Amino acid sequence: MKRWTNLALFLLLGLAFVSGWVAFFYATAPSRASLIVHAASGYAIVALTPWKSVIAARAIQRRRPGWWASLLFALLVLLSVLAGILHSTGLLISAGAFTAMEVHVGAALLAIPFAAWHIIARRIPMRAVDLSRRSMLRAGALMAGAGLTYATGEAAVRVFHLPGSERRFTGSYEFGSLEPSQLPATQWMFDSVPMASTRHRTGQA
């Protein structure tokens, strides 16, 4: 189970990363399909926590060089998942200067060097058994469970009328429709900050 868990995490992290960016780039219908894959891979990562915790707890006792970097990596992944769920449910869309989505993507980007280091430093060689029938069945069960969790979450957001039920299929929230002064202005890198968007961001009238 140890090898399988680490290998599954490897594939799921890659899937979550790629599907997140694909959703950003499309911002139209394919976005939703990508976000379903995205959310399911995120929940599958969470579902592996009990197994990964056992692996990590044992490994930490051995204090291999860089063990603290793995812990930091774990914190960043958890922060990213938490912020993703806060965004999707709408329970906390922004806090202070940052939106939950900025924290979500920011934490994931910060996690990249740690992920690369972790995978190289704690390398696991591929074996034929990784493609066995049992491994595939486990993977199928994991993804089915994660998909069901996501579907239940989406249904709950609607049943309880959480703010997340108002978001677009791309995951975006409405932002100043029909109020031109609130719409984000086009701005080049070295332009001064436009007044309308400054006022909106700081919440002034």
- 108 lines the binding site for ligand HEM (CB under 6 A): yes
- 40 lines the binding site for ligand HEM (CB under 6 A): no
Q: Burial-class residue 36 by CB neighbours within 10 Å (0-12, 13-18, 19+).
A: middle
- Contact range with ligand HEM by CB under 6 A, out of 70-78, 136-144, 178-186, 192-200: 70-78
- 9 lines the binding site for ligand HEM (CB under 6 A): yes
Residue number, 130 or 183, with CB nearest to ligand HEM: 130
- Contact range with ligand HEM by CB under 6 A, out of 52-60, 126-134, 137-145, 188-196: 52-60
- 70 lines the binding site for ligand HEM (CB under 6 A): yes
Whole-number Cα distances in Å, 115 to 32, 54, 65, 195: 26, 19, 15, 40
Sign of CA dihedral 44, 48, 50, 52: negative
User: In terms of Cα–Cα distance, which of 18, 9, 79, 76 is closest to 45?
Assistant: 9
Number of residues that bind ligand HEM (CB under 6 A): 47
- Using only the alpha carbons of the chain, give its radius of gyration: 20
d(CA 51, CA 2): 7
Span 153-172, contacts to ligand HEM by CB under 6 A: 153, 167, 171
49: tokens are: 């926590």
Q: Burial-class residue 42 by CB neighbours within 10 Å (0-12, 13-18, 19+).
A: buried
Residue number, 154 or 200, with CB nearest to ligand HEM: 154
Q: Which residues of this protein are in contact with ligand HEM, per CB under 6 A?
A: 6, 9-10, 13, 16-17, 20-21, 23-24, 35, 38-39, 42-43, 45, 52, 55-56, 58-60, 64, 67, 70-71, 73-74, 77, 80-81, 84-85, 87-88, 104-105, 108, 111, 118-119, 122, 124, 150, 153, 167, 171
